[in-house]
Structure 1
Amino acid sequence: MKFDIHTHHYRCGHANGNIRQYIDSAISNGLKVIGISDHTPYFYRDEDQAFPQIAMGKSEIRNYVQEVLQLKDEYEGTIDVLLGIESDYFQQHAELYRQALSAFPFDYIIGSVHQVHDVSIFNKNRWNNFTLEQKIAVKKEYYRLIQESAKSGMFQILGHIDAMKGNYPSFSEIPANETIDETLKIIAEYDVAIEINTSGKTKKSGGWYPSDAMLERALFYDVHVTFGSDAHVPERVGDELSEVSSKLKEIGYKEWVYYKQKKMQVVPLI
């Protein structure tokens, strides 16, 4: 079964196209399941839309949910449209996010760490003049936050778990193997899936998140995997789905998962 659980649209302010266009693209590409998962508002900010080019406003989330549910009904029998959302994980605001998101019937929630020490993980300048010890400390904090997001119980899926390499490819060479293994053990223990996210090709690192080496370790620890293009334009829906499936088979996986009504759906690799 072909599916894609990670897509965005115009409401977040940095993606193009409306939800219908992403669904139609999924149909054209032979997908049976499409998940819509735009960025959560910044619930902890006073402003309605604190960062218009990053995430939707708080006043828009209800409209977003209603639109996805309407399209789900409209496309029933043609493609299974799932209501998802990608939520930032801020440890200090976790309960606020939990309460805000509990008001809606999401099929799944993707938890993503986008900031470490209040700086975007994609900000390549954060590494300027850092010693190796400082780089290691940042990488360990990144994975500590991912561990906490897995333990929180808020998420069915963790997004792009090595995306800090996106605009800083040398991130992968910063030594922290023990921390990564500990993170994968925790993800498995709390029965959360990780996505293979093909949007890394749009960043300096190229390729996918996470790396093949991390996927090998994830298999060793029995971590569930899923697929997400992280499409920000409709044309990228399902991008490199077949290639990811082939790589997973090569590594040793036999199945992957997606979520419906927050229940894991296990399907064979394509």
Structure 2
Amino acid sequence: MKFDLHTHHFRCGHADGNIRDYIEAGIQAGLQVIGISDHSPFLCSEEDQAFPHIYMAKSQLAAYVQEVLQLKKEYAGRIDVLLGLETDYFPEYAELYRSTLAQYPFDYLIGSVHNTEGISIFNKNRWNNLSTARKIAVKQGYYELIAESARSGMFQILGHIDAMKGNYPLFSEITADESVERALKIIGECGVAIEINTSGKTKLVGGWYPSDAILERALHYGVAVTFGSDAHVPSRVGDEWEQVRTRLREIGFTEWVYYKEKKKVTVPL
């Protein structure tokens, strides 16, 4: 059973192609299941589309859902199309997101932390001139947010949980092991999955999210894993799926999961 739960399309403003393009790419890649999970609207603003190159407009959400559901019917029997969404976790607006998204029949939600202290995690300049102690505090805050997103109960999957290394590879060397360990323990206790996300190859760090070291500790805490290419172009759908499966087996995982109607489906590795 081959699946990819993390794909984007033109509505978010920084991906190419429409939803059908990604479904067709999934079929070409040999997928049996594809999740469509574009970026949710930025609900914290009164503007319809506060950040047009990051999030879809609020007015587009219903049409997005309708299009995915229509394509799910059209492609039934060829590939199982799942309705997902990737949404940021903002603690102060969690209930707004929870109540808004509950109106739609999502198969799963991916919770991702893309900003801390009001700055993008991918902004490499945020690290300029920071002391060692301050870097540790930033990393600790990042993992505190990830742990809180797991506890929120809003998400089936947590996205790219060490993506802060994307444009700052030295992030992995910042000593905050206790915070990472605590986050993984909470994720395991909450029964939320983490994705192996192969889009790190498009950033300065290269490779995948999360690191092997994090995956080894995730296995220790019984954290479920899933796969997401985080494709922003159709050609990346299913990218490096086989390599990820092989590495998970080497680490000691025996299964991975996807979600349908917010219910976990377990797939042997």
Q: Give the structure-1-normalised TM-score.
A: 0.99
* Aligned-pair Cα RMSD in Å: 0.4
Distance of 1:134 and 1:120 partners within structure 2: 16
Classify the secondary structure of the residue corresponding to 1:258.
strand
- In the TM superposition, 1:184-203 aligns within 5 A as 184-203=184-203
Classify the secondary structure of the residue corresponding to 1:210.
coil
Deviation at 1:131, TM superposition (A): 0.1
Distance of 1:14 and 1:52 partners within structure 2: 9
1:182 maps onto 2:218 in alignment: no
Task: Name the residue aligned to 1:63.
Answer: 63
Task: Name the residue aligned to 1:40.
Answer: 40
Task: Name the residue aligned to 2:207.
Answer: 207
Task: Name the residue aligned to 1:250.
Answer: 250
Task: Name the residue aligned to 2:172.
Answer: 172
Deviation at 1:44, TM superposition (A): 1.1
Task: Name the residue aligned to 2:259.
Answer: 259
Summarize deviations over 1:118-148 as a string: whole Å, max 9, x none: 1000000000000000000000000000000
Distance of 1:162 and 1:111 partners within structure 2: 13
Classify the secondary structure of the residue corresponding to 2:51.
coil
Deviation at 1:78, TM superposition (A): 0.4
Task: Name the residue aligned to 1:3.
Answer: 3
Task: Name the residue aligned to 1:30.
Answer: 30
Task: Name the residue aligned to 2:136.
Answer: 136
Distance of 2:26 and 2:268 partners within structure 1: 19
Unaligned runs of 5+ in 1: none
Deviation at 1:178, TM superposition (A): 1.0
1:151 maps onto 2:151 in alignment: yes
Classify the secondary structure of the residue corresponding to 2:259.
strand
Classify the secondary structure of the residue corresponding to 1:86.
strand
Distance of 2:34 and 2:166 partners within structure 1: 25
Distance of 1:184 and 1:138 partners within structure 2: 18
Q: What is the letter of the counterpart of residue 171 of structure 2?
A: F
Paired positions, count: 269
Deviation at 1:2, TM superposition (A): 0.3
Deviation at 1:8, TM superposition (A): 0.1
Deviation at 1:255, TM superposition (A): 0.4
Distance of 2:178 and 2:98 partners within structure 1: 30
Task: Name the residue aligned to 1:229.
Answer: 229
Distance of 1:236 and 1:52 partners within structure 2: 23
Q: What is the letter of the counterpart of residue 117 of structure 2?
A: H
Task: Name the residue aligned to 1:78.
Answer: 78
Distance of 1:100 and 1:233 partners within structure 2: 28
Distance of 2:208 and 2:91 partners within structure 1: 26
Q: Give the structure-2-normalised TM-score.
A: 1.00
Classify the secondary structure of the residue corresponding to 1:267.
strand
Summarize deviations over 1:242-261 as a string: whole Å, max 9, x none: 00000000000110000000
Distance of 1:245 and 1:41 partners within structure 2: 32
Unaligned runs of 5+ in 2: none
Runs of 4 or more consecutive aligned structure 1 residues displaced over 2 Å after TM superposition = none
Distance of 2:139 and 2:253 partners within structure 1: 27
Classify the secondary structure of the residue corresponding to 2:244.
helix
Distance of 2:190 and 2:225 partners within structure 1: 14
Q: What is the letter of the counterpart of residue 216 of structure 1?
A: E
Deviation at 1:181, TM superposition (A): 0.7
